[in-house]
């Protein structure tokens, strides 16, 4: 027996087994993670170097069970307080909520860093917090600042206006000389807007324009920002050129068809249809060639979408086509000239240009709702830069837009440039650094929860709150919170690789409202659904807290039967309630 023990001991020494590693594994609950915890699969793989992580968004994941516990009203509960104690009935509602939040943070949110900050929306009194001042990346929550800044600069009722300027029409409805398409950097201008403008010109009595349609050099001021071409290619007889259709149709487009139809239904991918564009000059007038090449299979069709940077020329030609469709003939073509040169030439002929028609965009409040509810990145950036440019009388630039965002933060929330990092209006950046505390400050000011001081601020706050997604109803929250929280959470989502965020308001059943920000960084992409579900659990716990702390309803003595009087208010069921203005998006976009 002794000999066997000696042999086992010698064998253990030879293989280098330590006494600690020889101990049996503890059964039961999963142990608290430490620096000696078993490495993850990603840590074991060393052949492929890891992608460099941004400063804030993808910091190395740390287990939440090593983090401090949830603070209650700014005070951290001491470590001597036992968790899961038997006398749970003696816990206050705040303590029970904090324990529940702790469990979530150490459960599905244990990988990565999660920051949480919750206050009473009306008073700003702090309720719960963990990592409230950590500089985290909130992704599209940056749109909260961008849209609040835009509303503050030009107001919720502002509309982008696109005008057609020219000489006053004569008695026969003829306009002598060129007309000028003058926009205002409208990011929502589309073909339908130009049709509307042409219809207004025709309704004003214009029947003919004896000149060109002139457009300015600023492509985004006078043009269609989302200038897209739809190219449809359909096979013809084998060996023949396929048919090509490009829309929206206008004289600006020239089709160059170099494609052929194959004898077979299938062709090699490299030999398939390709569509490119080239800008050419036709006697001083620009045209856009749409060049179709390659081979299409027998009996096949293919669709292609292209964008052009010649937004202004494209818009001017589309307006010319829309005018013809509305019954207004245009003798000339399209050319580019600065507005000042056009006005100078017109006044030299004794003509003072006047608006012949105008198309106005939807109110900024509605555009901001599209930005926040559907989290449209390009529109967020364009709304920020264009409203800043119009407010300052300058050309749009992201640098000016970001400067305006910092100015709004400093003026309304006391957040300076050294306290946060923003570099876009959309949040599509891995450089962003904002804390949950700062995001809650933005939410309270922008929604008016912090009591706006004048009617202008109140109007902006109302438009801003209505722009947020409503849980279980619309926007990026349409498919979430469909249980008891439906309609009572209004918030902005945020998603990037390794980033999930949610900031907004939670309305309690008794009229109290919580302002919150919940940001998780550093988790793996595969944990995204679990992180979102955990965020919903956090909101559910906060709702339980509101229910547990609701003031008792005062006792009401039975009233005497009322006698009907003339002019009394109608029952609620008979009152025609107005639309609340919240859009119902059929297909929520990715935040």
In this structure, what CATH number is given to the domain that contains residue 453?
A: 3.40.710.10
Q: Which of 360, 391, 425 is the last residue of a domain?
A: 360
Model confidence at 292: pLDDT above 70? yes
Same domain, 412 and 515: yes
Model confidence at 360: pLDDT above 70? yes
92 lies in a domain? no
**Higher local confidence (pLDDT), 5 or 415:** 415
pLDDT reported for residue 76: 54
CA distance 533 to 427: 22
77 lies in a domain? no
From 166-180, 267-281, 286-300, 567-581, the region with the lowest mean pLDDT:
567-581
- The residue range of the domain holding 420 is 99-157+364-548
pLDDT reported for residue 68: 61
Same domain, 322 and 413: no
**Higher local confidence (pLDDT), 377 or 565:** 377
Same domain, 421 and 500: yes
43 lies in a domain? no
The number of distinct structural domains making up the chain is 3
With cut-offs at 50, 70 and 90, classify the pLDDT of residue 268. confident
User: What average pLDDT does range 384-410 have in this prediction?
Assistant: 97
- Tokens coding 106: 């150490």
Closest CA to 137 of 378, 383, 420: 420
Q: Which ranges of 393-527 does DSSP label H, i.e. alpha helix?
A: 398-413, 436-447, 455-467
Q: Are 467 and 363 in contact (CB under 8 A)?
A: no
CA distance 72 to 60: 27
User: What average pLDDT does range 497-519 have in this prediction?
Assistant: 95
Closest CA to 379 of 425, 331, 438: 425
> Is the full-model pTM beyond 0.85?
no
User: What average pLDDT does range 319-338 have in this prediction?
Assistant: 96
445 lies in a domain? yes
Residue 433: DSSP 8-state: B
Q: Are 504 and 476 in contact (CB under 8 A)?
A: no
User: What average pLDDT does range 30-45 have in this prediction?
Assistant: 34
Q: 87-139, pLDDT tens digit by residue?
A: 555 889 999 999 999 999 998 899 899 999 999 999 999 999 999 999 999 99
Residue with tokens 């849980």: 471
Closest CA to 227 of 119, 309, 168: 309
- Tokens coding 324: 């013809």
Q: Are 442 and 501 in contact (CB under 8 A)?
A: no
**Beta-strand pair 285-293/253-257:** parallel
pLDDT reported for residue 439: 98
Closest CA to 295 of 274, 320, 324, 318: 274
pLDDT reported for residue 332: 94
Q: Which of 308, 326, 351 is the last residue of a domain?
A: 308
Same domain, 298 and 316: no
Same domain, 499 and 515: yes
User: What average pLDDT does range 229-250 have in this prediction?
Assistant: 94
pLDDT reported for residue 16: 40
pLDDT reported for residue 532: 95
pLDDT reported for residue 270: 79
User: What average pLDDT does range 176-190 have in this prediction?
Assistant: 96
Model confidence at 322: pLDDT above 90? yes
With cut-offs at 50, 70 and 90, classify the pLDDT of residue 260. very high
pLDDT reported for residue 77: 58
**Higher local confidence (pLDDT), 88 or 538:** 538
Same domain, 392 and 340: no
Same domain, 414 and 489: yes
282 lies in a domain? yes
44 lies in a domain? no
**Higher local confidence (pLDDT), 9 or 347:** 347
89 lies in a domain? no
Residue with tokens 């620096």: 35
Percent of the chain with pLDDT over 90: 71
Model confidence at 150: pLDDT above 80? yes
CA distance 502 to 498: 14
User: What average pLDDT does range 356-385 have in this prediction?
Assistant: 97
pLDDT reported for residue 450: 81
User: What average pLDDT does range 25-35 have in this prediction?
Assistant: 34
pLDDT reported for residue 581: 33
Q: Are 514 and 119 in contact (CB under 8 A)?
A: yes
Same domain, 206 and 347: yes
Output phi, psi for 190, to 5 deg.
Answer: -140, -175
465 lies in a domain? yes
Q: 41-81, pLDDT tens digit by residue?
A: 333 333 333 433 444 434 434 444 455 678 787 665 544 45
pLDDT reported for residue 456: 86
pLDDT reported for residue 566: 35
With cut-offs at 50, 70 and 90, classify the pLDDT of residue 331. very high
Same domain, 413 and 519: yes
User: What average pLDDT does range 360-365 have in this prediction?
Assistant: 98
Residue with tokens 């918030």: 491
Average pLDDT across the chain, whole number: 83
Percent of the chain with pLDDT over 70: 79
Same domain, 375 and 467: yes
Same domain, 178 and 118: no
In this structure, what CATH number is given to the domain that contains residue 183?
A: 3.50.80.20
CA distance 54 to 498: 10
CA distance 484 to 57: 32
With cut-offs at 50, 70 and 90, classify the pLDDT of residue 226. confident
Same domain, 290 and 435: no
């Amino acid at each position: 027996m002794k000999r066997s023990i000696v042999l086992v001991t010698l064998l253990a020494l030879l293989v280098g087994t330590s006494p600690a590693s020889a101990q049996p594994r503890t059964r039961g609950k999963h142990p608290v993670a430490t620096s000696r915890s078993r490495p993850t699969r990603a840590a074991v793989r060393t052949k492929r170097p890891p992608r460099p992580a941004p400063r804030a968004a993808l910091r190395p994941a740390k287990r939440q069970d090593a983090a401090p516990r949830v603070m209650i009203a700014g005070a951290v509960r001491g470590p001597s307080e036992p968790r899961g104690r038997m006398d749970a009935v003696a816990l206050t509602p705040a303590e029970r909520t904090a324990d529940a939040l702790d469990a979530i943070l150490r459960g599905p949110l244990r990988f990565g860093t999660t920051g949480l900050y919750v206050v009473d929306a009306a008073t700003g009194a702090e309720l719960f917090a963990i990592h409230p001042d950590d500089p985290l990346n909130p992704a599209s929550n940056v749109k909260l600042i961008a849209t609040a800044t835009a509303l503050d600069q030009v107001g919720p009722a502002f509309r982008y206006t696109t005008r057609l300027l020219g000489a006053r029409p004569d008695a026969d409805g003829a306009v002598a000389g060129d007309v000028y398409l003058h926009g205002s950097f409208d990011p929502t201008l589309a073909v339908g807007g130009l049709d509307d403008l042409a219809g207004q010109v025709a309704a004003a009595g214009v029947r003919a324009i004896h000149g060109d349609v002139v457009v300015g050099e600023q492509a985004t001021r006078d043009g269609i920002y989302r200038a897209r071409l739809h190219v449809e290619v359909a096979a013809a007889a084998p060996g023949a050129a396929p048919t090509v259709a490009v829309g929206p149709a206008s004289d600006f487009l020239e089709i160059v068809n170099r494609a052929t139809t194959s004898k077979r239904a299938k062709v090699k991918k490299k030999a398939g249809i390709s569509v490119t564009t080239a800008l050419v000059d036709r006697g001083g007038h620009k045209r856009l060639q749409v060049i179709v090449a390659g081979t299409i299979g027998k009996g096949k069709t293919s669709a292609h979408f292209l964008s052009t940077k010649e937004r202004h020329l494209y818009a001017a030609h589309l307006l010319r086509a829309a005018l013809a469709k509305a019954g207004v003939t245009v003798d000339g073509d399209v050319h580019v000239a600065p507005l000042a040169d056009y006005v100078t030439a017109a006044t030299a002929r004794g003509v003072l240009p006047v608006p012949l028609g105008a198309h106005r965009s939807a109110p900024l409040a509605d555009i901001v709702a599209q930005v926040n509810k559907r989290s449209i990145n390009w529109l967020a950036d364009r709304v920020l830069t264009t409203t800043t440019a119009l407010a300052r009388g300058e050309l749009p630039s992201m640098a000016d837009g970001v400067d305006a965002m910092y100015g709004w933060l400093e003026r309304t929330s006391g957040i300076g440039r050294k306290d946060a990092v923003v570099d876009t209006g959309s949040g599509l950046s891995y450089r962003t650094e904002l804390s949950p505390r700062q995001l809650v400050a933005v939410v309270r000011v922008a929604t008016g929860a912090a009591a706006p001081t004048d009617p202008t601020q109140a109007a902006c706050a109302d438009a801003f709150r209505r722009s947020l997604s409503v849980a279980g109803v619309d926007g990026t929250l349409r498919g979430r919170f469909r249980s008891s929280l439906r309609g009572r959470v209004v918030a902005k989502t945020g998603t990037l690789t390794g980033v999930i965020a949610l900031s907004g308001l939670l309305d309690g059943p008794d009229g109290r409202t919580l302002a919150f920000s919940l940001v998780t960084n550093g988790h793996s992409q595969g944990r995204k659904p679990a992180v979102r579900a955990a965020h919903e659990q956090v909101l559910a716990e906060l709702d339980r807290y509101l229910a547990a702390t609701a003031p008792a309803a005062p006792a009401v003595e039975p009233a005497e039967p009322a006698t009907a009087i003339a002019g009394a208010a109608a029952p609620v069921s008979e009152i025609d309630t107005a639309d609340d203005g919240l859009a119902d998006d059929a297909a929520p976009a990715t935040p």
